Amino acid sequence: MTSSLNNKAGILAELWMNYRDDKDLADFIEYNDIGLPLAYFIYNELVEPTTSAEMYVEETYHLLVFSLGIEDKEYDNLDEMLSEASKLDK
């Protein structure tokens, strides 16, 4: 399981910046309209994480893991998660 809030925020920030206009992820992006930008702000040290902010990031991260259908383990980056999910499609 990914233990670091900063690591989770980095993965979500990357997703938000690189895929926010992706039609396949439109529902996920729309539903997580607070958690994704908040993760970006935390990762880039634009805001200090509060307990509430951490809850949003954690929930958004767990929804990503669930929606990809992958195991919740320690991932280094979004590409690693997407690669793991693509293996399941085969």
**pLDDT-derived band of residue 88, with 50, 70 and 90 as boundaries?**
confident
Residue 89 pLDDT more than 80? no
Q: What is the pLDDT of residues 4-45, one digit of tens each?
A: 999 999 999 999 999 999 999 999 999 999 999 999 999 999
pTM across the whole model: 0.91
Backbone angles phi, psi at 58, to 5 degrees: -60, -45
3-state secondary structure the chain: CCCCHHHHHHHHHHHHHHHCCCHHHHHHHHHCCCHHHHHHHHHCCCCCCCHHHHHHHHHHHHHHHHHHCCCCCCCCCHHHHHHHHHHHCC
pLDDT, tens only, 62-85: 999 999 999 998 899 999 999 999
